[in-house]
Structure 1
């Protein structure tokens, strides 16, 4: 069975973006390390599918670059109807049913890109198999949380932790 991997960065206070969806704080030059991709390349090699919420998709479209995952099957979960776009299929059906079925299909792992609402929904349904969370040494004070308010308590088993010279700390965990 395919695995759903939540690979994401968060501020020390638990936000994945500013209130308006801005993630520019992740790309601060101070955090750049020559030759280090924080496991991103290995993640991309292990997946053939991405899964994201509509707001996250809109943030990605706002980057000044072409769509970054054209060689993957990309699903965008949305409550509203949208016509499929280049490299993207929109999913309006129940997200938990969709992801359960997706996990049963043949293929590589599935990258859960986010955001907070989708993360919470799939966490509550027990559909996230791995968590690779990178903590960035910044406090945003407000924003879009990694998991929405009301998320139930969930114990995770830490498989590995890594610290980087730039202050990032990455945890690899499983339920």
Structure 2
């Protein structure tokens, strides 16, 4: 069975967004978890998909110009990810969204469809986010691994990645390593 692997960049206090609604401490939104060789699809929630599509489409169209959403030039890693993802199937869990600019996007209407997707042949699936879908799928027992890049910052408010997770979930450490001197990449699997 394919694994569903969540990858998120968070503050030390577990926030994926600060009080202003944005993770201004993240300098690049590339896939920095080492998942690319192991995945062949991305899964997102309805709240995150429109911004994701807008961000990466802008980068594909003008990779050498500042991003309209951030005013920053894309990193080399972001440009590489932007080249890779248009050909990768994207699944969006949504009961309301009906159209997408990317032709390789399919809408899933229920959690049961995600369970079915995991049973299909293929590589693992990258759960890009956001917080609501991540919590929902952890609560449903569908997330196999969580990869976090932890920034040395206490955001002091904002949206927490695990705010909506129900109950207690035991995790097993897969790996922990420093990234760029200040960040930490933590990888966990859910304990059986």
TM-score scaled by length of structure 2: 0.76
Q: Which runs of 5+ in 2 are unaligned?
A: 62-81
Residue equivalent to 2:9 = 9
Q: Is 1:18 paired with 2:18?
A: yes
* Partner of residue 93 from structure 2, selected from 74, 77, 91: 77
Q: What are the equivalent positions in structure 2 for 1:14-163 lying under 5 Å apart?
A: 14-19=14-19, 21-27=21-27, 39-40=32-33, 42-63=34-55, 64-66=58-60, 68=82, 69-94=85-110, 96-149=111-164, 151-163=166-178
| Distance (whole Å) between structure 1 residues aligned to residue 137 and residue 89 of structure 2 | 19
| Distance (whole Å) between structure 2 residues aligned to residue 92 and residue 161 of structure 1 | 33
State the Cα RMSD in Å.
2.3
| Distance (whole Å) between structure 1 residues aligned to residue 95 and residue 171 of structure 2 | 30
In the TM superposition, structure 1's runs of 4+ consecutive aligned residues that sit over 4 Å from their partners are none
The total of aligned residue pairs comes to 165
SS of 2:153's equivalent? coil
| Distance (whole Å) between structure 2 residues aligned to residue 152 and residue 4 of structure 1 | 20
